[in-house]
Structure 1
Amino acid sequence: MIMRVMGEGQFEVGDDHLNLLNELDAELVTAVDSGNEELFRHAYAKLLAAVKQYGTPLPLDSLEPSELILPNAEATIDEVRELLMADGEGVIPGFPE
């Protein structure tokens, strides 16, 4: 799966890491639902760090379509909440929990 982190580029994440990312996504949903900014910051930082750790960066001149677009690390809780509400499945849709 190709994921774009706004302002940081694209990362190709193998299927073997999608379950972990889905778990982190569930944590993020819980944090956003709580409205707790500190909990949200921690959960979102963990998700972004995992995408970067387990994903392989694509070349900057690559124009691959991204299957998922994540806001940058400075995104607000409201921006991420809007993203979550777009499909009701978290930021990583379509993967089993």
Structure 2
Amino acid sequence: MIVRIMGEGQVRVADSHLTELNRLDDELLAEMESGDGPGFRRTLGALLEAVRRLGEPLADDSLEPSELILPSADATLEDVRAMLSDDGLIPSGTPD
């Protein structure tokens, strides 16, 4: 799966890692719904770090279609709310 982190580029992440990413996404969604700003910031950082750690960066000149788009590390709670679907940033229908 190709994941774009806004402002950083694209990363190829194996489908086998989606369970871990979905866990972080669920936590992020719960923190957003409860208005937990510090928790939101911590979990967003953990989600982005997991994508970077588990994925393989694509070349800057590569233009693959992104299956997921994640916000940048400095995105606000409001920015991320605007990007969310009912399932969070990572739809639960995504294969794992």
Normalising to structure 1: TM-score of the pair?
A: 0.92
Give the secondary-structure state (helix, strand or coil) at the position aligned to 2:88. Answer: coil
Displacement after TM superposition at 1:96 (Å): 7.2
1:31-51 alpha-carbon deviations (Å, 9 max, x no partner): 111111101001100100000
Structure-1 residue corresponding to 2:38:
38
Q: Which structure 1 segments of 5+ residues have no match?
A: none
Q: Report the RMSD for the aligned CA atoms in angstroms.
A: 1.4
1:68-91 alpha-carbon deviations (Å, 9 max, x no partner): 11111000001111212xx20110
Seq. identity, %: 54
Q: Separation in 1 of the partners of 2:45 and 2:68?
A: 17
Contact residue 3 and residue 12 of structure 2 kept, 8 A: yes
Q: Separation in 2 of the partners of 1:96 and 1:31?
A: 24
1:89 aligns with 2:90: no
Q: Which structure 2 segments of 5+ residues have no match?
A: none
Q: Which amino acid aligns with 1:65?
A: P
* Runs of 4+ off more than 6 Å: none
Contact residue 22 and residue 96 of structure 1 kept, 8 A: no
